[in-house]
Structure 1
Amino acid sequence: MVEPPSFTITTAALCYQEVVSQLVHDFKFQASPRAGQLLVNLMLSQPPPALGNALLPVPMFPARAKERGFNQAHWLAKRLGKSTGMPVLRARCIKQMPSQRSLNRKERRRNVSDAFRMEGGIPEHVTIVDDVVTTGATGHALAAAALAQGAKRVDVWAAARTPFQKS
Structure 2
Amino acid sequence: MGVGLGALMAARWRLYPELGIPHALVPVPLHPRKQRIRGFNQAHILAEGVGRRTGLPVLTLLHRRTNDPPQARLPRESRKGRLGLAFEAATPHLRGARLILIDDVATSGETLRACAIALTRAGAEDIRAYVLAMGTT
Q: TM-score, normalised by structure 2?
A: 0.85
Quick one: percent identity of the two aligned structures? 35
In 1, are the aligned partners of 2:47 and 2:58 still within 8 Å (CA)?
yes
The match for 1:87 is 57
Q: Secondary structure at the match of 2:123?
A: coil
**Alpha-carbon offset, residue 56 of structure 1:** 0.7
Give the Cα separation in 1 of the matches to 2:8 and 2:133.
Answer: 10
In 1, are the aligned partners of 2:10 and 2:49 still within 8 Å (CA)?
no
Q: Secondary structure at the match of 1:144?
A: helix
The aligned runs of 1:1-167 (5 Å cut-off) are 34=1, 36-47=2-13, 48-49=16-17, 50-90=20-60, 91-120=62-91, 121-122=93-94, 123-163=96-136
In 1, are the aligned partners of 2:6 and 2:48 still within 8 Å (CA)?
no
Q: Secondary structure at the match of 1:111?
A: coil
Q: TM-score, normalised by structure 1?
A: 0.71
Report how many residues are paired.
Answer: 130
In 2, are the aligned partners of 1:97 and 1:111 still within 8 Å (CA)?
no
**Alpha-carbon offset, residue 86 of structure 1:** 1.2
**Alpha-carbon offset, residue 134 of structure 1:** 0.7
Amino acid at match of 2:11: S
Q: Secondary structure at the match of 1:74?
A: helix
Give the Cα separation in 2 of the matches to 1:125 and 1:66.
Answer: 30
**Alpha-carbon offset, residue 100 of structure 1:** 1.7
Structure 2, unaligned runs of 5 or more: none
Task: Give every structure 1 segment of 4 or more consecutive aligned residues whose post-TM-superposition deviation is greater than 6 Å.
Answer: none
Structure 1, unaligned runs of 5 or more: 1-33
Deviations 1:102-138 (A, max 9, x none): 1122322333221111113325211000001111000
Q: Secondary structure at the match of 1:112?
A: coil
In 2, are the aligned partners of 1:126 and 1:155 still within 8 Å (CA)?
yes
In 2, are the aligned partners of 1:42 and 1:159 still within 8 Å (CA)?
no
